[in-house]
Amino acid sequence: MIRWTVILLVVALIAAIFGFGGIAASAAGLAKIVFYIAIVLFLLSLIAGRNRV
C-alpha cells in the first residue's frame, strides 16, 4: 500500500509541475487516503500479532 501512496504522490507532483491543479489535488488526496489506510492496517497487524504470542 505504501507503494501506491508513493506512486500517487509522484503523479500529483508531476501534475502540479505541468499545471494540472485538479488532477494534482485528486492524486494527492488519494495518496493521503491510501497512506492513512496503510497506517491503520499496520497498527492492526501489530496489535493482532502481539495478541497471538
Determine if the pTM surpasses 0.95: no
How many CB atoms are located within 10 Å of the residue 42 CB?
12
pLDDT at 8: 82
The pLDDT tens digits of the residues spanning 28-49 come to 888 889 889 989 999 999 898 8
Cell readout for 6 is 508513493
Q: Please choose, from the candidates 24, 20, 43, the residue with its C-alpha nearest in 3D space to the C-alpha of residue 32.
A: 24
Q: Give CA–CA dist 39/53, Å, rounded.
A: 22
pLDDT at 36: 93
Q: Tell me how many degrees the CA angle 4-8-36 measures, rounded to the nearest 5.
A: 60
